[in-house]
Structure 1
Amino acid sequence: MDSELYEAAVEGNVRSLVELLRKDKLLLDRIMTGNHNETPLHIATMLGHLDFVEEILARKTELAREQESQSLTPLHLAAAKGYLHIVESLVRVNPEICFVRDKYKRNPLHVAAMKGHVDVLECLVRATPKATHSVVENGQMILHLCVKHNKLEALKLLIDILGDDQFVNSRDEDGNTILHLAAVDGQTETIIFLTNKGVDPNITNYKGFTALGLLAQGQSMERALEIVNSVPQTSENHNPYKGTVFPNNMEKKEIKRERKRKWQQGMHEALMIVAILVATIAYEAGKDPPDESAKAMNGFDDYYQFFKASNTISFIASLSTIIFLISGLPLKRRRITTWIVMLTMWVAITCTD
């Protein structure tokens, strides 16, 4: 890019732009045909220079669709920055830019939703509502991005404008609805809003979990039920929790299994630390024999033999525990083997004392 044009774009200097175009009428055409990382329209948009943007659009509207090295259009940048007036100018020139995707398959509406720029998002949605149905990575749609980035106001806007059941209950590649994502992240306010708007809480993802099942995993069953009960129910006919909203038997078993696994993992880590400490103490005590003054004491031989026996038992027991934990507990009857290891450590600690 011409250095003078670059400086004019950075400064938003419309007068310099006009002068440069007077000297070289093909300046903007060469930018379009050249291999540039970004155009002056990208730079001016990123810096919020509205007058400069409008001057370029008046002379070369095709630049509005140009993409830089990350496949971002000027509209992507304006949406990310929240520059409403620049967004309006770009959309007015070519509304189809709303469908252009960046390297992550996101169009400008996705970017505005992720950033939570509600006014910009509303402008884009009303210009091209079909662009809201574009799918990004992981099979997620714009509503998923709102929840993923915790942008509740953007989510409310989209559901109010386009809130048909199929759109609201759309799934990603893992079968998760937006309610599943909100439950995983513990977004209480979002969960209450979505259930009031008719998002089906009984939908299971591809692992067989409802949103409440995931909520109970991440927090506690009591907290999950508290959130459920906090949803106001306006009538008997409209109850978003009718049916099997509570975790099914498979989910309950999975939750219990996960809690059990965490308990065992914590127990194994604690046992490993204690076993290493006991083994170290026993080793240090065994490698340093008593000095001559200690040997002269009455009954030394009997006490020393007892000490050697108990210290050896302690060392062997703690070392066995370490080896056992490193090798991994048997998959079956894991609770029994955990108690065996605990008993072994009790023997080791007792002998150390």
Structure 2
Amino acid sequence: MDQSLRDAAQQGNIDALYTSIRRDVKVLDRIDELPFVETPLHVAASAGYIQFALEIMRLKPSFSRKCNEDGFTPVHLALQNNKTEVVRQLLDVDEDLVRVQGRGGVTPLHYVAQTGNLHLLAEFRKVCPMSIKDVTIRGETVFHFALNNNKLDAFELLIRWLQQTTLEDASSLWENKLLNWKNEKGNTLLHIAVSNNQPQASSLHS
């Protein structure tokens, strides 16, 4: 990325962004051509510059789904840096960003289940209920993430999400399949709950 453009993103300076565009009208297009790249949206989301992030997303919506060289999207980076308002604003523009897979197939929802942020979990449930179905390349569901990190409140919220949300293909068979899903090590939620001495979790999904 051009250094002046990077500086603009790091400072949240929209005027400087357009100075870069006037100097080179294809500056954003060249970034977009790369399959894995740090974009100005990654930088702004990490730093918490909401207006700059929204302006970039308006100019280049594809940036919001692009992974950097480490396999993280702008929403992943915003979450990692506790810039939750940036996350909310980006989801206002594109709700499906909750489901975009980054490194290892981890979605923003997986990350929030891991950290146990109940407010964001509730918001993710509202904007993208289907995201609860997503599984990583290690065969981990959001429930695995919550239990493995001892986030029992998050686990309970996710169970209620699963039980109460009406999905197009929802059925008890589908729910049972998800709750009995095995990760790459063959561990179900019950295995994890027993291993971690989480009796309330094992009783919740039994």
TM over 0.5: yes
Tell me if 1:142 matches 2:150: no
Deviations along 1:168-195, one digit per CA (max 9) or x if unpaired, are: 73231455332321221223xxx22552
Deviations along 1:67-91, one digit per CA (max 9) or x if unpaired, are: 1113221122223334332112222
Distance 1:159 1:81, change over 3 A: farther
Tell me if 1:157 matches 2:167: no
Partner residue, 1:192: 200
AA aligned to 2:190 is L
Please say if residues 143 and 178 of structure 1, whose CA atoms lie closer than 8 Å, have aligned partners that are also in contact. Answer: yes
TM-score, structure 2 as length reference: 0.82
Q: 152-161 vs 18-27, which deviates more?
A: 18-27
Secondary structure of 2:180's match?
coil
Partner residue, 2:176: 166
Written as runs of structure 1 = structure 2, the 5 A alignment for 1:1-353 is 1-34=1-34, 37-163=37-163, 166=176, 169-173=179-183, 175-187=186-198, 191-195=199-203, 197=204, 199-200=205-206
Please say if residues 45 and 53 of structure 2, whose CA atoms lie closer than 8 Å, have aligned partners that are also in contact. Answer: yes
AA aligned to 1:186 is N
Secondary structure of 2:105's match?
coil
Distance 1:61 1:54, change over 3 A: same
Deviations along 1:296-334, one digit per CA (max 9) or x if unpaired, are: xxxxxxxxxxxxxxxxxxxxxxxxxxxxxxxxxxxxxxx
Distance 1:24 1:31, change over 3 A: same
Higher RCO (C-alpha 8 Å, min separation 6): 2
Sequence identity, in percent? 31
Q: Distance in 1 between matches of 2:50 and 2:15?
A: 14
Which runs of 5 or more structure 2 residues have no equivalent in the other structure? 164-171
TM-aligned CA deviation for residue 97 of structure 1: 2.8
Please say if residues 98 and 107 of structure 2, whose CA atoms lie closer than 8 Å, have aligned partners that are also in contact. Answer: yes
TM-score, structure 1 as length reference: 0.50
Partner residue, 2:169: none
AA aligned to 1:4 is S
TM-aligned CA deviation for residue 45 of structure 1: 0.8
Greater Cα radius of gyration, structure 1 or 2: 1
TM-aligned CA deviation for residue 57 of structure 1: 1.6
AA aligned to 1:89 is Q
Please say if residues 44 and 53 of structure 1, whose CA atoms lie closer than 8 Å, have aligned partners that are also in contact. Answer: yes
TM-aligned CA deviation for residue 121 of structure 1: 2.5
TM-aligned CA deviation for residue 8 of structure 1: 1.4
